[in-house]
Structure 1
Amino acid sequence: MSKEKSTETKSDLISLADEEGVKQVIVNSILGLWDVVNNLTRLKPSRRAAAALAKMGCDIITGGGPGLMQAANEGAASATGRAQSVGIRVDLPFEQEVNAFVTQAFEHRTFFTRLHQFVLASDAFIVAPGGIGTVLETMMIWQLLQVRHLEDTPLILVGKMWPGLIEWTRGSMLSPDTPLANAEDMTIPHCAANAEEAIAFIREYHTAWLNKKEKR
């Protein structure tokens, strides 16, 4: 590093004793963060999957929040027909209000009762990329299907984050030394690369479901 460059770097440093300088750095940093947030909010999640399912007469049930949940509720609300756009919320101090595209809202005090309603109300589960809560709910649905507390209910994992989870589960739980699951348990979730694949799978399932319903 040259002496000139070193001098320029040192001149950019601000002493903590310089209150005005420190204040300006903080203000600029916060404004910079808001610029990032504003850019991210320009990314509109796809709602075509929910719209396609709603046109098939399927009610759309989400957590009722922003982002992908709002996109799904918006997709359902935009479709013509009698499909409901439902939001099932949980009471948290930092959670936002239910999004504007929910036509029927429910509020729960705990994640457990909320997930229970999800399970009771759903005939298929489409899981988008998400955080710890999404993974928790996915694993719970997987486990209910494994022990047949749920039957004939698709669990579709959409996006790039899920195949790695399935492979980790397969490699860790099907060890020949200490098997923790059966090979057929690994076939319960269906991975879809995108919304189109998820819609195609649901269409096939929905057609079979209607045929079975007519025969009863």
Structure 2
Amino acid sequence: MAEPGANVDHTYPEHPREKHRGPVVLRRSRREETSTTDQRLLDTRGPSDWVHTDPWRVLRIQAEFVEGFGALAEVPRAVTVFGSARTKREHPEYELGRKIGAALVDAGFAAITGGGPGAMEAVNRGASEAGGLSIGLGIELPFEQGLNPWVDLGVNFRYFFTRKTMFVKYSQAFICLPGGFGTLDELFEALCLVQTKKVTKFPVVLFGKDYWRGLYEWINDSVRREGKINEADMNLLYLTDDIDDAVQVVREAYQAWEDTH
């Protein structure tokens, strides 16, 4: 496996601060609008003109699915890695993300992230530096957050639910680095889909024992013991600190999936 960063120009391409509205990029004075498409869809307060505009939103949602499916249709087997956008480049978790991105490429997988900064950038960077496919699925947010410069194939979405569909449809596994509400949202969404067998042979790896142990133990000691989930459900989560271990879990699950198809 190539050492992340070897023979690479470490300068960071800079671009003006920007706001994304689906595939539309807004810069400079055009960034002034603070609401998002999701917010305008879900916020039912205010004038009743939503009765007339919501049917048209269906066409925009349909178009977003078509755009995502079209862009990602030929993506090879891939793994999505989630993690905090707030991870600094000098933080050890950033270097860890780079190594995970490179290790996935070395194992024959493309790397998918949310396309933002922090841990997401680190994974995209590691995958790109290793010569693999680095994918970013961005989302329109109230604050500016363009796709990081290490994304090779990027798609920007207006709606979270459209983006989530793409994460699951085009991934063979999820790896969760330390992260906040966004990472937790994707984590539990994946667990729910696997538990209810909406997706199969789909491992969910929690990377970072010190960070995730409290959550893991709470799920086991409270949720499982109260009978809200069973022992088999606990096996949907894999807790590790080792990159090779995480990649092996992904490999084995993918091989098991291939054997049944």
Cα deviation for residue 53 of structure 1 reads 1.1
User: C-alpha offsets along residues 162-186 of structure 1, whole Å, 9 cap, x if unaligned?
Assistant: 22212101222223xx521122111
The question of whether the paired residues in 2 share the 8 Å contact of 1:45 and 1:67 is answered with: no
Alignment of 1:96-135 (within 5 A): 96-135=145-184
The structure 2 residue matched to 1:93, chosen from 139, 142, 148, is 142
Structure 1 residue aligned with 2:111 = 60
The question of whether the paired residues in 2 share the 8 Å contact of 1:128 and 1:158 is answered with: yes
Inter-CA distance 209–75: structure 2 relative to 1 (3 Å threshold): farther
TM-score of the pair, normalised by structure 2: 0.60
CA–CA distance in structure 2, aligned partners of residues 41 and 60 of structure 1:
19
Structure 1 residue aligned with 2:227 = 179
Q: Are 1:71 and 2:122 an aligned pair?
A: yes
Cα deviation for residue 194 of structure 1 reads 3.4
Q: Which has the higher helix share?
A: 1
Structure 2 residue aligned with 1:49 = 100
* Structure with the greater alpha carbon radius of gyration: 1
User: C-alpha offsets along residues 175-202 of structure 1, whole Å, 9 cap, x if unaligned?
Assistant: 3xx5211221111011112323313333
Amino acid corresponding to residue 240 of structure 2 in structure 1:
A
Cα deviation for residue 206 of structure 1 reads 4.7
The structure 2 residue matched to 1:188, chosen from 232, 236, 259, is 236
Structure number with the bigger relative contact order (C-alpha 8 A, sep ≥ 6) is: 2
Amino acid corresponding to residue 181 of structure 1 in structure 2:
I
CA–CA distance in structure 1, aligned partners of residues 181 and 235 of structure 2:
22
3-state SS, counterpart of residue 106 of structure 1? strand
3-state SS, counterpart of residue 88 of structure 1? strand
CA–CA distance in structure 1, aligned partners of residues 167 and 158 of structure 2:
14
Amino acid corresponding to residue 77 of structure 1 in structure 2:
S
* Moved segments of 4+, more than 6 Å: none
Cα deviation for residue 41 of structure 1 reads 4.1
Structure 2 residue aligned with 1:35 = none
The structure 1 residue matched to 2:203, chosen from 135, 154, 157, is 154
Larger CA deviation: 136-145 vs 161-170: 161-170
TM-score of the pair, normalised by structure 1: 0.72
CA–CA distance in structure 2, aligned partners of residues 85 and 41 of structure 1:
18
Gaps of 5+ in 1: 1-39
The question of whether the paired residues in 1 share the 8 Å contact of 2:202 and 2:253 is answered with: no
CA–CA distance in structure 1, aligned partners of residues 248 and 152 of structure 2:
26
Q: Matched residues, percent identical?
A: 37
